[in-house]
């Protein structure tokens, strides 16, 4: 452990810490090591659940990121997900824990739905980050599993905390990018969010921070969900699936 921490310290720099701080990362206990270097180190170390737990326990920022990259999803317990979630203190720690590790565990779906309804800023962000990760990594999940998340997204769209609303937006966009059916469901969700915000404001303009947050979530998501680039990709994916299905039946 001491050897790894010494290596992390040597890889860091004040310039790196300053750059992290500019992006809103908590550098109170950080060396200033890039994620690129951490992933290189993780590949060298390989998968090691016990080492991941020890790295996390140090409290060091880079050690915790490294822990997310080397832990074994099959060994992660529910207690561990809750313990680490309580320790989240920066968006990058939250996002790497949820989309590089927790979304690959058997606890992912329950935590995504549960944490999205919690009030703690980083835990709530973690719930929506998990949704975003599952939309990309869980290839076998049925569409209904994601449509059941849309009401949570609608309710949380009015949370004006920057790190929460960005994760809500992220989850909505990733769900809508999964396939054509979920794209239509996500766009319908956008319209409901916008309509609810306008109703609360009594018009299509104005309103308090929560209303402005909801409008931003909806407007930003709609831009990507209706883009020609995404439409082309979803159509191409649909054609490939049809071709594979025909090939299997011939």
Dump pLDDT digits (tens) for 38-59.
999 999 999 999 999 999 999 9
The reply to whether 87 falls in a domain is no
Q: What is the pLDDT of residues 114-150, one digit of tens each?
A: 999 999 999 999 999 999 999 999 999 999 999 999 9
Q: What is the pLDDT of residues 9-39, one digit of tens each?
A: 999 999 999 999 999 999 999 999 999 999 9
Identify whether the C-beta of residue 47 lies closer than 8 Å to the C-beta of residue 70: yes
**Domain of 233?**
107-249
pLDDT, residue 21, reads 96
- The count of domains in the chain is 1
The reply to whether 40 falls in a domain is no
Q: What are phi and psi of 90, to 5 degrees?
A: -160, 150
The reply to whether 221 falls in a domain is yes
Q: What is the pLDDT of residues 58-102, one digit of tens each?
A: 999 999 999 999 999 999 999 999 999 999 999 999 999 999 999
Q: How far is CA 126 from CA 89, 95, 169, 170, 218, in A?
A: 11, 7, 13, 11, 20
The reply to whether 142 falls in a domain is yes
Query: Tokens standing for 38?
Result: 């951490």
Distance CA 106, CA 217 (A): 29
The reply to whether 177 falls in a domain is yes
Query: Tokens standing for 157?
Result: 């769209």
First to last CA, the chain: 57
pLDDT, residue 250, reads 61
The reply to whether 14 falls in a domain is no
pLDDT, residue 180, reads 95
The reply to whether 79 falls in a domain is no
Domain holding 136: CATH number? 1.25.10
Query: Tokens standing for 23?
Result: 């992006």
């Amino acid at each position: 452990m001491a050897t790894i921490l010494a290596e992390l310290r040597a890889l860091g720099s004040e310039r790196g810490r300053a750059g992290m701080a500019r992006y809103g990362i908590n550098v109170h206990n950080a060396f200033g090591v890039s994620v690129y270097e951490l992933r290189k180190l993780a590949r060298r170390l390989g998968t090691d659940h016990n080492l991941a737990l020890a790295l996390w326990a140090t409290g060091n920022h880079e050690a915790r990121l490294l822990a997310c990259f080397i832990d074994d999803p099959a060994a992660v317990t529910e207690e561990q997900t809750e313990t680490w979630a309580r320790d989240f203190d920066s968006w990058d720690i939250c996002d790497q824990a949820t989309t590089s590790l927790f979304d690959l565990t058997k606890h992912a779906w329950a935590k995504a739905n549960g944490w999205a309804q919690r009030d703690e800023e980083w835990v709530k962000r973690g719930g929506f980050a998990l949704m975003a990760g599952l939309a990309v990594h869980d290839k076998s999940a049925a569409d209904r599993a994601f449509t059941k998340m849309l009401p949570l997204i609608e309710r949380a769209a009015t949370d004006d905390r920057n790190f929460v609303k960005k994760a809500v937006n992220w989850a909505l966009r990733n769900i809508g990018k999964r396939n054509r059916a979920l794209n239509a469901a996500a766009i319908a969700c956008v319209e409901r969010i916008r309509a609810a915000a306008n109703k609360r404001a009594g018009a299509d303009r104005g309103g308090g921070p929560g209303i402005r947050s909801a409008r931003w979530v909806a407007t930003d998501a709609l831009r990507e969900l209706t883009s020609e680039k995404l439409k082309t990709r979803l159509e191409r994916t649909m054609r490939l699936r049809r071709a594979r299905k025909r090939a299997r039946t011939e």
